Amino acid sequence: MTSLAIPFLRRALPGQLTWLTGVLAAVVLILAAMPIITMIIMSFGASDTLAFPPPSYGLQWYRAAWHTFMSPDASDVLSMGQALGTSLMVAFATMLIAAAAAIPAAYALNRFNFPGKAVVEQFIALPMVYPLVMLGISLLLVFNYFPVELGIFRLVIAHVILALPFAVKNCAASIAGIGPEFEEAAYLMGARPLRAMFDVVLPLMRPGILAGMLFAFIVSFNEFTVTFFLYDVDTMTLPVWLYSRTVSSLDPTVFSFAVFIVLIDFGLIWLLEKLVGDDGVAL
Amino acid sequence: MLDQNSNARPWLLLLPVLLFLAVLAAAALAVIRMSVGSNGDEWHSVSLSSYADLATPYYMKSLWLTLRLAFQSTVLAVLLAIPVAIAMARAKSKLARRLLLTGVLLPLLVNLLLQSYGWLIILGPGGVLNNSLLALGIVQRPVQWLYRENGVLLGLIQTAFPLAALPMASALKAISGSYEEAAATMGASRWQILRHVLLPPAMPGILSGALLVFAYNASAFAVPLLLGGRRVSMLAVLVRDQITPLLNWPAASATSVVLMLATLAVMALSQKLVQRSQRMLGDAQ
């Protein structure tokens, strides 16, 4: 509130939020959302060209999409429902496994000092900069020579690797705000370490854990590149299914499906935002 | 005994994460091994022919294109992220902060395939961009954006700028606005405040954001595939082409190893440059 005391400075300082910065930020964000907005508007169009804005509006593409959903074309390798089911299953498994791996890791990185810690931290961030295509083909190579048929776990393993940096960082950010005195107090009260962990530390970490889990779910649900290398007919996810429909031609039915996915995403991101709230997302 | 126990505990807790990362490491080693095999006898032979094949003008052009587009998109994404990051770090109202974060996360998290559909409509010959440019009289006839470098560049900037904005916002958030005011009260100019108060602590955030954007876009696959078609062959698309129609595993592996090495080299180089410039900033003070 000091800024109110010297109001003439408010507009002059770099790094301060002025109306100009605010407007610029809004413009950038609207531009960044343009592809999504355009596609949503397009899905309500009533002509079968890709001209934008559509000359007239209607729900015909939604009807067509609903029709496809209810009675899959015999020529389709796989129905959308099956792909959606696989997507949700993979995303759910990714979320649980990523959280189960990330929580102890975040705890270890925050509470212990050990040789090699810096290297481990770098290593955990690696999947964020690891080329997706390389991850795709390298996992394909490894899985092809793996003696056991992994089924959808091929995708789950890949997605967990991709989601780990997000999950660990969000869990670590939440544990950083909890001092060791909470556990110490629990020990003083006679709690054993495991009990202190489950009754004191984990509940306090909940926002970060949930944010990490949601992040993992969203990353998995939207993952396209790596899945594109690893899928087969039994393990096709929704994005790959959508892609397979558009290889030959782009028909606006696809936009209706896409809007459906975007709505799910929007709900998840809104929820994520509600969880991390003021702390922001750790990246 | 106790001491040994406390040394082992962090590693025990890290074990699940390390197992997954071990899969990643094993997979990377498999690709490196594959890249020095020869086509047809991948696991037993050793030859550098795949790398030698990469020394053609076609691949060199693709490598150069990849690095150039990644670099351009990084610079532009960082510039665009600045106002957004300031707004995220300094917005007072809760609703504004929620909207900002949602707006930043959408382009990052929504499936790139779906966003590319939107780009196809925007950039098409009769798309919004061309219509507005025509209406404004900036161009006389529709510009071909799709399947051209410019269109891919737009897509790369749009999908990756959140990676620049998020670390920058958290770095700015850590710098209290009162430092700037204090400096201003002491008579510092705007430039001095920017250079001595704001930039040094914000630099790590800006740099890590820039590196994320660079690495992300250097290996971009979906955007060049969908917006660039066959015309804008960034390395990641070439890797795919060598596998799906050609089944040339060693060539694909060698290409992706080159992609990885080029990314790592640029990242190491820029980290060095920033360290040096920070030292210089420190000396100047």
User: Residue A164: closest CA among chain B residues belongs to which residue?
Assistant: B17
In contact, B146 and B124? CB cutoff 8 Å: yes
Which residues on adjacent β-strands are paired with residue B41? Answer: B38
Q: What residues in B contact A35, CB-CB < 8 Å?
A: 107, 114-119, 122, 158
In single-letter form, the type of residue at position A8 comes to F
Q: Which among A22, A137, A219 has CB closest to B252?
A: A137
Is residue A47 in a domain?
Answer: no
Chain B contacts of A50, Cβ < 8 Å? 120-121, 124, 126-127
Residue A72 covered by a domain: no
Q: Which residues have a Cβ under 8 Å from the Cβ of B117 and sit 6 or more positions away?
A: A35, A39, A246, A250, A254, A255, A258
Determine whether the interchain pair A17/B90 forms a contact, defined as Cβ–Cβ distance below 8 Å. Answer: yes
Beta carbons of B239 and A137 less than 8 Å apart:
yes
**Which among A29, A39, A53 is the nearest to B117, CB-wise?**
A39
- pLDDT at residue B283 in the model: 57
Within-domain flag for A271: no
Residue B172 has pLDDT above 90, yes or no: no
Q: Which residues of A touch B166 (CB under 8 A)?
A: 280-281, 283
- CATH number for A227: 1.10.3720.10
pLDDT in tens, B84-105: 998 988 888 888 888 888 899 8
Res. B4: pLDDT tops 60: no
Measured between alpha carbons, how far is A255 from A223 in angstroms, rounded to an integer? 18
A180 burial level (CB within 10 Å; 0-12, 13-18, 19+): exposed
- A172 CB neighbours in chain B (<8 A) are none
Residue A27 within any structural domain of the chain: no
Query: Counting runs of H as helices and runs of E as strands, what totals does chain A give?
Result: 13, 0
Quick check: A134 and B259 CB within 8 A? yes
Cis peptide before A193 (omega within 30 of 0): no
Residue A5 in this model has a pLDDT that exceeds 60: no
Q: Give the range of the structural domain holding residue A102, as residue numbers without chain letter.
A: 77-250
Is residue A283 situated within a structural domain? Answer: no
Exposure string over A145-158, b if 16+ CB within 10 A, otherwise e = eeeeeeebbbbbbb
| Interchain proximity A38–B163, CB inside 8 Å | no
Tell me what the mean pLDDT of segment A104-125 comes to. Answer: 87
**Residue A275 domain-assigned?**
no
Provide ipTM, 2 decimals.
0.83
Whether A146 has its CB under 8 Å from any CB of chain B: the answer is no
* pLDDT at residue B236 is higher than 80: yes
Question: How many domains does the structure of chain A reveal?
Answer: 1
Alpha-carbon distance B274 to nearest alpha carbon in chain A (angstroms): 18
Top-level class of domain B45-283:
mainly alpha
Report how far apart, in Å, the C-alpha atoms of B224 and of each of B162, B228, B234, B235, B258 are.
19, 5, 7, 10, 18
Q: Enumerate the H helices of chain B as residue ranges.
A: 2-35, 49-54, 57-90, 94-109, 112-123, 128-135, 149-173, 177-185, 190-192, 199-218, 222-223, 235-243, 249-284
| Residue A112: inside a domain | yes
